[in-house]
Amino acid sequence: MSQCPVIDIAQKETWARRATTASIVIAATLILIKAVGWFLTDSVSLLSSMIDSMLDVGTSVINFMAVRSAWRPADYDHRFGHGKAEPLAGLFQSAFMIGAAILVLAEAASRITEPMPISFAVEGLWIMGVSLIMTIGLVLLQRKAVRISGSAAVEADSLHYSSDILSNLAVMIALFGGMSGLAWADPAIGGLVAIFLLYSAVKVGRTSVKVLMDAELPESDSQRIIELTMKNPDVIGIHRLRTRSSGVHRFAEIELIMDGGMLMRESHTICHQVMDSIRAEYPDLDITIHPEPPEDIHLDEFSGYTEDPEFWHTGRAKRAGQHDIPVNNSGGEVAAMGR
């Protein structure tokens, strides 16, 4: 069961901005020290790490702007808020990372055929050691920010910097190999870093596309929403449940099956009771509920859930050539009949 901790929206925004600001400052610092290291060593693996940091600055700036946009409240032109600014930034970040990986792979391929010795390898090791410590500190900060804020942009950035930890270690191994006379180690490890960068880019891109395409929330969340909804004795069933996320914002649309003879005020009260029940566990979920009488539901349109075994067999729902419609199992477990 997935539950959201009750955290103040301002606190979530503060941590998201804190993480994006830190990533910009650290990435800019890493560019400077890695540029010095590359100038001294002429290492292709260190070059790949420096290019990665250069892209980090650009994507971190995009993420910073995306986070500021995503946390802006809904306005007249954006009634559902600005949450999709974050996955859009993640998509740009993915494209940048793919471009960098291809560039480094090309350079590594040329160096493997014509290996070159590494100069000032010891100084390069010290530079990469400092880079490693700074990157680890940033990742720890970002992970805490993701736990508190749920920011998609910060999570994408954290994934990328986590891969940087491995790439920094790989560059240090390559430099040590160069000191030991293994000239092929530098371009080989540089190529491996680029392949890992490519893998991370695809993963970030897929996550961003899912949000941009309004993918459903996790199945466990949908099942829990059904459970909470069906606890209300006045709810006959759920005609349709649709969920989606938009950056840090999450939405649910529920069509409730209720007695058609109810007064409007009574059905309105029940809808709010269901909302309150769901928001007790999902306080940041934006919920829209629409009540429907069972007699207006065609069986061929039904894609929800009901615990009322009489719903299908007393004529309260119109038949559409279907007679044997399954209802809730005898064990009493909640089971969605698809959405």
- pLDDT mean by block of 10 residues, the chain; 339 residues: 50 79 89 88 80 75 66 59 68 79 79 74 88 91 83 74 80 80 78 79 81 78 88 86 77 87 87 91 85 72 57 43 40 38
The answer to whether 153 touches 89, Cβ cutoff 8 Å, is: yes
Report the pLDDT value the prediction gives residue 32, as an integer from 0 to 100. 92
Report the pLDDT value the prediction gives residue 134, as an integer from 0 to 100. 92
* Among 220, 266, 209, CA closest to 243: 220
Of 3.40.50.740, 1.20.1540.10, 3.30.70.1350, 3.30.1490.190, the CATH number of 214-339 is 3.30.70.1350
* Among 31, 82, 44, 55, CA closest to 246: 82
The domains of the chain are located at 9-212, 214-339
Q: Which CATH class is domain 9-212?
A: mainly alpha
**Count of C-beta atoms within a 10 Å radius of residue 324:** 5
| Start-end of H helices in 121-238 | 121-149, 152-179, 185-212, 219-230
Report the pLDDT value the prediction gives residue 1, as an integer from 0 to 100. 41
DSSP H or E stretch at residue 291: strand 285-292
| pTM (2 d.p.) | 0.57
**Count of C-beta atoms within a 10 Å radius of residue 2:** 12
Report the pLDDT value the prediction gives residue 323, as an integer from 0 to 100. 44
Report the pLDDT value the prediction gives residue 333, as an integer from 0 to 100. 39
* Among 250, 57, 69, CA closest to 160: 57
Report the pLDDT value the prediction gives residue 136, as an integer from 0 to 100. 92
